[in-house]
Amino acid sequence: MAGHSQFKNIMHRKGAQDAKRARMFAKIIREITVSARSGLPDPAANPRLRAAVAAAREANMPRDTIERAIKKATGAAGGEDYAEVRYEGYGPAGVAVIVEALTDNRNRTASDVRSAFSKHGGALGETNSVSFLFSRLGVVRYPASAASEDGMLEAAIEAGADNVESGPDGHEVTTSVDSFFAVRDALESRFGVPESAKLDWRPTTTVTLDEEKAGALMKLLDVLEDNDDVQSVYANFDIPDSVLQKMSA
């Protein structure tokens, strides 16, 4: 399994499901907050907010919770003021790691991220210290039922996308950063709101890990993902299926 997207569901984790669900909701609500403040509070007129609401629905967040988050973000009180921050560093075995966060306290988040790296065999670096090992691109995902493979491919090409991969799990359309919003809007007008639409980091090279190194890296990624301020984690690792089977046994 390659670490080419946000790290999650690599291994089955037991217990604390309610706490994990609450953390997921908190992260989505932060994105809704930032999205609502970055444009109009109407999802129909604010693409980023529309994507955040779609993510909330995919996570089965109650409608009233979504509406309260939007109202709080745009109300007189305004709630917390979140800043978007990116951290970069190396994990165990020299795996490059990018961490994206939304925080209302940069010092706290930087300290937490730095501590996670240092305690789990890694080192936090400067901005752009590892991003050169990744490509920045737009990714739009639809369920397989949204269109046939040919239908999605045709629509994506017309919209200006770079690539389409279709299979039983759905369609993944990738674009350049410059074309992302135009492609997303064109596909949305044809197939409806996507399952997800976001800018992504994809590694250009990967580090293959054995069981020991994979276990060490998983601990770091777990800690980072469990941090309330962290929205996404990307890493350029590859774990062979044989190693995954041993780790999940």
- 36 & 148 share domain: no
- 117 & 225 share domain: yes
- 105 & 153 share domain: no
Q: How many domains does the chain have?
A: 3
Q: How far apart are CA 206 and CA 225, in angstroms?
A: 20
- Cβ 79 vs Cβ 120: under 8 Å: no
What CATH number has the domain bearing residue 68? 1.10.10.200
Q: How far apart are CA 103 and CA 95, in angstroms?
A: 25
- 239 & 210 share domain: yes
- 63 & 108 share domain: no
- Please report whether residue 8 resides in a domain: no
Per-residue pLDDT of the chain (249 residues; tens, 9 = 90+): 555 444 444 444 444 566 778 888 999 999 999 998 888 888 888 888 888 888 888 888 999 999 998 988 887 555 678 889 999 999 999 999 999 999 999 999 999 999 999 999 999 999 899 999 999 999 999 999 999 999 999 999 999 999 999 999 999 999 999 999 899 999 999 999 888 888 999 999 999 999 999 999 999 999 999 999 999 999 999 998 888 888 776
Q: How far apart are CA 221 and CA 103, in angstroms?
A: 18
Q: How far apart are CA 150 and CA 167, in angstroms?
A: 12
The one-letter code for the residue type at 136 is R
- Please report whether residue 9 resides in a domain: no
Q: What are phi and psi of 108, to 5 degrees?
A: -60, -50
- Please report whether residue 178 resides in a domain: yes
- Please report whether residue 6 resides in a domain: no
User: HSE-up of 182 (CA within 13 Å, CB side)?
Assistant: 11
- Please report whether residue 7 resides in a domain: no
Q: How far apart are CA 219 and CA 199, in angstroms?
A: 25
- Cβ 109 vs Cβ 229: under 8 Å: yes
Q: Residue 152 is part of which domain span?
A: 144-194
Domain boundary among 74, 95, 118: 74
What CATH number has the domain bearing residue 103? 3.30.70.980
Most distant CA atoms of the chain, gap in Å: 55
- 121 & 87 share domain: yes
- Cβ 66 vs Cβ 178: under 8 Å: no
- 65 & 172 share domain: no
Q: Which two tokens stand for residue 29?
A: 């609500």
Strand partners, 134: 203
- Please report whether residue 68 resides in a domain: yes
